[in-house]
Structure 1
Amino acid sequence: MPDAALRLTTLVERMLGARLPVRVRAWDGSEAGPPDAPVLVIHRRRALRRLLWKPGELGLARAWVAGDIDVDGDLYRVLDLMAGLVWERGEDDTGLLTALRDPQVRAAARGFAALARPLPPPPPPPEEMRRPGRGHLHTRRTDKKAVSHHYDVGNDFYELVLGPSMVYSCAYWTAGGTLESAQRDKLDLICRKLDLRPGMRLLDVGCGWGSMVLHAAREYGVRAVGVTLSAEQAAHARKRVADEGLTDRVEIRVQDYRDVSDGPYDAISSIGMAEHVGHARFLEYARALHALLKPGGRLLNHQIARRPQQDETAYHVDEFIDAYVFPDGELAPVGDTLGLLERAGFEVRDMESLREHYALTLRRWVANLEAHWDRAVHLTSPGRARVWRLYMAASALAFERNRIGVNQLLAVRTPESGESGTPLRLRTWN
């Protein structure tokens, strides 16, 4: 009689000391768990081998990307139910993925081996970025490779997920707004915070597919330069610039921010770029942007932030995101970012949290992906589409649960006279 689901469920519950909140369906057709709960499907026993050989998030991620495990039902609900047991059990009891790293726990879990038949696992899915190690992060070469892994997936795929705006950062929502209107409102919010006016020079660092520079040139009359390390992004952005007849006012470059040398600029926008810079390089990054601004010029830094850790000396890498989504990406607490901007010479004048806005945006992106699933698979691969579905759904929940946030910091290169050029009541954009 098939019994893999019952054996697996019993084993995991003993290890965790808690009941599984989902139903398990195993490769032999057996099921166990609450009858009305969403179903975690284990299609192949090799999913267990992946966890035995690579315990932690990476083993679980490989099983998901390869299609060894899946969800029958609401993915958000499964992730929400499992988060408390698998990832978020507190500092003294961090759940199944950490437990599996403990040799004593693994020795006690011999039932795992019996279920898995622990031959060496298959190689990682091809969507995983492989590299020797994390010893030389954020050089020009490694940054270009990491950006290419994430962004050179195909412009058609990104347009399917992001919609026509091609804006890959959180939108700015009002009741009843659409994704397109919310993204337009976000770009306009940034332009107003930067106090853009006709004839100004704007630098957009990490310009993506050109949406910010296009909006600023079209609606505010600025002359804009956008830089990106992605050749595919740059090609798409240049076509958009040409289609809108803005080639005389907008320039798109494939260029590292460290190589921009044609300042001064009146304003700089950095929207979802600093996460790629890395904590060790952020002060260098901030100083480079400070040097590119004219006195009185403004910087708008839009950046995802994590919550501070008890031990800030032990940097935690999210193995799934590092291997499949944002190689070498790093999140820092917003207080650290603010402090480094000030050390670079900036005066930080305003901070606005948009945490809930990002959760809403991610849910819209997931809906776009799910509505066009077959097309997404055709444009990339089944594994790549699965990466994006899990990444965006889990990120939406992380924003909703206040595990991560996103903030806009407005900073000024205040001249020695102290005249920042900002009004007494700064928030004129509201």
Structure 2
Amino acid sequence: MQDAALRLKALMEQLLGAPLPVRIRAWDGSEAGPPEAPVLVVRNRRALRRLLWRPGELGLARAWVSGDLAVDGDLYAVLDMVAGLVWERGEDARTLRGALADREVRAAVRGLVRMAGPPLPPAPPREEVRRRTHLHTRRSDRRAISHHYDVGNDFYELVLGPSMVYSCAYWQSPESTLEEAQGDKLELIARKLDLKPGTRLLDVGCGWGSMAIHAAREHGASVVGVTLSQEQAAYARKRVADEGLTDRVEIRVQDYRDVGDGPYDAISSIGMAEHVGSERYLAYARALFALLRPGGRLLNHQIGRRPRRDESAYEIDEFIDAYVFPDGELAPVGRTVSQLETAGFEVRDVESIREHYGLTLRHWVANLEAGWPEAVRLTSPGRARVWRLYMAASALAFERNRIGVDQVLAVRTPDSGASGMPLRARTWN
């Protein structure tokens, strides 16, 4: 008798203390749940073992990446529903995180254990990074950057599109194309930094060279871009050569801590500071301060999280740390501003563009889904699933204000106090 879905639905509702908003399709072909709801596909009993051995976010991620769990229908809708049941009820014992310690749901857990079959823990998917301490040494940072960015330039071209910009775009209109919005973001940064012919710009974490090329081509700047990714550097150098900008743009494989040829007139750090780590952030800010001339500007474009009740408690996003950004850390924007000021900067402008990132991510997900067979060929089925889940879940996180992204404009104001900033704020808009 095909009844696995009905049994699973009943046990999960008992476990969570709430009706399941999704429909379940089990490995025996049975289905249960709201008939019009998106379908969560539990392809085998191993999916249950993954959840039982690692309740919560990491167990769900392992089941998804391995293909033991899938979605038939709107992925965003399913993620939104799961977030409401699991991640956003952190103090409620009736969650997957607290289920094993809740007496009222132990019977449900025993029922799931019986359904799951052999009690051996499944091996994690091969795409998972072994957990390390967050040392943020030069060596560990190189390994983390390589894991994330050396997936293959062809894969990133498929996801990011022709702009090859891997950070939040700036949308003048929802009807703009992704390429237009990314071009507008680069131009916004250039105007905030007041780039002009001859301006010496350091682009920290230069990626595939888009900001460096834009600054040199559109504003006549002389640019040094640094990255820890060999694949990014090779790609960026070819782009620079194709644009005929080798006399104005130099791309280095270099740690920002090893840059010693300042002073620079301006520094852009776009989507890079998330890799620095909270313990080393002040040192990062001081290093950039030292590389700027008096009156020079820093544009720090950085993802931030909402403040926690207890900021002394160290927390990581298990899925992101294991599969996407090893050793990445997010901080509230207030802490970022304080650290920059402690390093000596005068912070002159903070602009939140949170909604812009949700829209950007939805375009990246659409690109990935449209090119799915090619994405799988270029990487692996598991790696492609990692990126689909990571980007779709991140889009919802930005839209629901769980995380944000801010552009912080800061100046190394000279002792005279002459910052060089315009009297009227935001003349770049």
> Is contact 2:205–2:226 with CA below 8 Å preserved after alignment?
yes
Structure 1 residue aligned with 2:145, among 143, 147, 169?
147
Change (3 A) 1:241 1:417: same
Q: 1:101 Cα deviation (Å)?
A: 4.8
1-structure distance, mates of 2:354, 2:370: 25
Letter in 2 for 1:422: M
2-structure distance, mates of 1:106, 1:256: 50
Q: 259-268 vs 45-54, which deviates more?
A: 45-54
Letter in 2 for 1:116: A
**Residue of structure 2 in register with 1:110 after alignment:** 110
**Residue of structure 2 in register with 1:85 after alignment:** 85
Q: 1:99 Cα deviation (Å)?
A: 2.0
> Is contact 1:324–1:387 with CA below 8 Å preserved after alignment?
yes
Q: 1:423 Cα deviation (Å)?
A: 1.1
State the TM-score, normalized to the length of structure 1: 0.97
Q: Please report the RMSD computed on the Cα atoms of aligned residues, expressed in angstroms.
A: 1.2
1:164 aligned onto 2:149: no
User: Counterpart of 2:88 in 1: which secondary structure?
Assistant: coil
> Is contact 1:352–1:409 with CA below 8 Å preserved after alignment?
yes
Q: 1:112 Cα deviation (Å)?
A: 1.0
> Is contact 1:229–1:255 with CA below 8 Å preserved after alignment?
yes
**Residue of structure 1 in register with 2:65 after alignment:** 65
Letter in 2 for 1:147: I
Q: Give a deviation string over 1:201-228, Cα, whole Å, max 9, x none.
A: 1000000000000000000001000000
Letter in 2 for 1:80: D
User: Counterpart of 1:375 in 2: which secondary structure?
Assistant: helix
2-structure distance, mates of 1:213, 1:25: 49
User: Counterpart of 2:195 in 1: which secondary structure?
Assistant: coil
> Is contact 1:88–1:95 with CA below 8 Å preserved after alignment?
no
**Residue of structure 1 in register with 2:313 after alignment:** 314
**Residue of structure 1 in register with 2:230 after alignment:** 231
Structure 1: state its 5+ residue gaps. Answer: none
2-structure distance, mates of 1:69, 1:16: 18
User: Counterpart of 2:24 in 1: which secondary structure?
Assistant: strand
> Is contact 2:160–2:367 with CA below 8 Å preserved after alignment?
yes
Q: 1:119 Cα deviation (Å)?
A: 2.9
**Residue of structure 2 in register with 1:385 after alignment:** 384
1-structure distance, mates of 2:94, 2:70: 20
Aligned pairs for 1:19-34 within 5 A: 19-34=19-34
User: Counterpart of 2:119 in 1: which secondary structure?
Assistant: coil
Q: Give a deviation string over 1:32-72, Cα, whole Å, max 9, x none.
A: 11111110000011011111222221111111000000000
**Residue of structure 2 in register with 1:251 after alignment:** 250
1-structure distance, mates of 2:10, 2:105: 15
**Residue of structure 1 in register with 2:172 after alignment:** 174
Q: 1:83 Cα deviation (Å)?
A: 1.4
> Is contact 2:93–2:99 with CA below 8 Å preserved after alignment?
no
Q: Give a deviation string over 1:8-45, Cα, whole Å, max 9, x none.
A: 11111112111000001111111111111110000011
Change (3 A) 1:253 1:94: farther
Letter in 1 for 2:3: D
Letter in 2 for 1:51: L
Q: Give a deviation string over 1:317-346, Cα, whole Å, max 9, x none.
A: 111100000001001000000000000000
**Residue of structure 1 in register with 2:9 after alignment:** 9
> Is contact 1:56–1:101 with CA below 8 Å preserved after alignment?
no
User: Counterpart of 2:7 in 1: which secondary structure?
Assistant: helix
2-structure distance, mates of 1:96, 1:207: 41
**Residue of structure 1 in register with 2:56 after alignment:** 56
Percent identity (aligned)? 76
Q: 119-128 vs 293-302, which deviates more?
A: 119-128
1:354 aligned onto 2:353: yes
Change (3 A) 1:95 1:142: farther
> Is contact 1:66–1:383 with CA below 8 Å preserved after alignment?
yes
Letter in 2 for 1:35: P
Change (3 A) 1:305 1:245: same
User: Counterpart of 1:98 in 2: which secondary structure?
Assistant: coil
2-structure distance, mates of 1:416, 1:345: 11
User: Counterpart of 2:350 in 1: which secondary structure?
Assistant: strand
Q: 1:97 Cα deviation (Å)?
A: 2.6
> Is contact 2:56–2:86 with CA below 8 Å preserved after alignment?
no
Q: 1:80 Cα deviation (Å)?
A: 1.1
> Is contact 1:351–1:410 with CA below 8 Å preserved after alignment?
yes
2-structure distance, mates of 1:330, 1:219: 33
User: Counterpart of 1:423 in 2: which secondary structure?
Assistant: coil
Q: 1:297 Cα deviation (Å)?
A: 0.1
**Residue of structure 2 in register with 1:124 after alignment:** 124
Q: 1:253 Cα deviation (Å)?
A: 0.5
2-structure distance, mates of 1:138, 1:106: 40
Q: Give a deviation string over 1:145-187, Cα, whole Å, max 9, x none.
A: 0000000000000000000100000111022211001000000
Change (3 A) 1:95 1:338: farther
Aligned pairs for 1:386-405 within 5 A: 386-405=385-404
Aligned pairs for 1:260-299 within 5 A: 260-299=259-298
Q: 343-352 vs 315-324, which deviates more?
A: 315-324
> Is contact 1:23–1:39 with CA below 8 Å preserved after alignment?
yes
2-structure distance, mates of 1:2, 1:362: 39
2-structure distance, mates of 1:275, 1:104: 39
2-structure distance, mates of 1:119, 1:92: 28
1-structure distance, mates of 2:395, 2:67: 22
Structure 2: state its 5+ residue gaps. Answer: none
